[in-house]
Amino acid sequence: MDIIETIKEQIANNPILLYMKGSPNAPQCGFSARASQALMGCGEKFAYVDILQNPEIRANLPVYANWPTFPQLWVSGELVGGSDIILELFEKGELQQLVKAAVGNGEA
């Protein structure tokens, strides 16, 4: 399977997916740390991909997503954005609604 197909499959199979540097419990950059903390603050499980362990995804996802930086949050198959957008949505209470709706859709 080529890497773009892998990325598409990851996004399709995970209602909430964070592409980040490191893991939520051991982030490898400040932006990834803030993004994963905001997501954890929503109280729902989410999937993540450590792009440092997946150099092909790290190289190809920005092209596929048309978004140059990491982290990248995908909810219900749609790119939400990076760290600044994630934090802004969290502070407004909108991220929590987005995450809960995505999890709810998965259970229908």
Q: Which residue numbers belong to the known binding site for [2Fe-2S] cluster?
A: 29
Residues comprising the binding site for glutathione? 21, 58, 70, 83-84
One-letter-per-residue 3-state SS of the chain: CCHHHHHHHHHHHCCEEEEECEECCEECCHHHHHHHHHHHCCCCCCEEEECCCCHHHHHHHHHHHCCCCCCEEEECCEEEECHHHHHHHHHHCHHHHHHHHHHHHHHC
**Known binding positions:** 21, 29, 58, 70, 83-84
